[in-house]
Chain A
Amino acid sequence: MSWLHLAVLTPFLFTLVVPLLNKNIRRIHTGWFVLAVPLLLFIYFLGHFPLDPTMAPVIHSIPWIPSLDIHFTLYLDGLALLLLLIITGIGTLVVLYSIYYMSMEREALHNFYVYLLLFMGAMLGIVLSDNLLVLYVFWETTSVSSFLLIAYWYQRSRSRYGAQKSMLITVSGGFSMLFGFILLYTMTGTFSVRELIGMSGQIAEHALFIPAMLLILLGAFTKSAQFPFHIWLPDAMEAPTPISAYLHSATMVKAGVYLVARLTPIFGGSMEWFWIITIFGVITLFWGSFMAIRQNDLKALLAYSTISQLGLIMSLLGIGSAALNANFSDQAILFSGATLAAVFHLFNHSIFKGCLFMVIGILDHETGTRDIRKLGGLMSIMPISFTLTVIGGLSMAGLPPFSGFLSKEMFFTGMLTAARNMDQWVMLLPVVAWIASVLTFVYCLILVFKTFTGKFQPERLDKAPHEAPIGMLISPGVLAVLVIVFFFFPNLLSLSLLEPAMHSIMPNLLAPGERFDVHISAFHGFNTELLMTFGIILLGTTLYVYLKRWSGIYDTLPRKYTLNNAYDGGLTGLERMSLKFTSTYMTGFLHNYLSYIFVVMICLTAGTLLSQGAFTIDLSTNSSIEWFEFVLGISVIIAAVFMVFSRSRMTSIIAVGSIGYMVSLFFVIFRAPDLALTQLVVETITTALFLLCFYYLPKMKKELTRLRFKLSNLLISLGVGITLTLIGLSVQGHNLFESISRYFENSYELAGAKNIVNSLLVDFRAFDTMLEIVVLFAAGIGVYNLIKLRENRRNN
Chain B
Amino acid sequence: METFITIIAGVLFTIGTYLILSKGLVRIILGLSLFTHGVHMLLMAVNGLKKGGAPLLGEGTDVYTDPLPQALILTSIVISFALTAFSLVLGYRTYVELGTDDLEQLKGDPNE
Contacts and interface: CB of A to CB of B under 8 A. Distances in A.
Interface of A: 583, 587-591, 594-595, 598, 619, 621-625, 629-630, 633, 636-637, 640-641, 643-644, 649, 652-653, 656, 659-660, 663, 666-667, 669-675, 678-679, 682, 685-686, 689-690, 693, 696-698, 700-701, 703, 705, 713-714, 716-718, 720-722, 724-725, 728-729, 731-732, 739-741, 744-745, 747-748, 753-757, 760-761, 765, 768-769, 772, 775-776, 778-780, 782-783, 786-787, 790
Contact of B37 (A660, A740, A780): A660
B54 A779 contact: no
Contact of A622 (B1, B21, B90): B1
Nearest to A621: B48
Given A656-B30, A776-B78, A624 B14 contact: no
A717 B86 contact: no
Interface residues of B, number: 87
Given A637-B11, A660-B37, A671-B65, A769 B50 contact: no
B108 interface: yes
B58 A754 contact: yes
A689 B82 CA distance: 11
Given A589-B103, A724-B13, A772-B79, 17 more contacts: A588-B107, A590-B103, A621-B2, A622-B1, A623-B49, A660-B33, A672-B73, A673-B56, A696-B92, A697-B92, A713-B22, A724-B10, A732-B2, A744-B68, A745-B64, A760-B67, A775-B78
B33 A686 contact: yes
A652 B84 contact: no
A741 to B, nearest CB: 5
Given A594-B20, A666-B41, A779-B82, A757 B6 contact: no
Instruction: List 9 tightest A-B contacts by C-beta distance, closest first.
Output: A721-B14, A725-B10, A779-B82, A717-B17, A588-B107, A756-B55, A717-B18, A760-B71, A756-B67
Nearest to B39: A724
Per DSSP, chain B at the interface is: helix
A640 B41 contact: no
Interface string B12-47: 111111111111101100100110011011101111
Nearest to B7: A725
A423 B68 CA distance: 82
A686 B84 contact: yes
B95 A696 contact: yes
A769 B74 CA distance: 9
Given A670-B49, A772-B79, A744 B67 contact: yes
A768 B90 CA distance: 26
A705 B16 CA distance: 19
Contacts of B50: 623-624, 669-671
Given A623-B48, A666-B41, A689 B88 contact: yes
Contacts of B44: 666-667, 670, 672
Given A659-B34, A772-B78, A779-B85, A640 B15 contact: yes
29 contacts: A598-B21, A621-B2, A621-B48, A623-B48, A629-B1, A633-B8, A666-B5, A666-B44, A670-B44, A670-B65, A671-B50, A674-B70, A678-B77, A693-B89, A693-B92, A697-B95, A700-B26, A720-B17, A725-B9, A728-B10, A745-B57, A747-B57, A753-B57, A757-B55, A757-B74, A775-B78, A776-B79, A780-B82, A790-B97
A588 B112 contact: yes
Given A693-B92, A731-B46, A760-B67, A672 B54 contact: yes
B10 A721 contact: yes
B107 A673 contact: no
A717 B21 contact: yes
A110 to B, nearest CB: 37
Contacts of B84: 686, 689
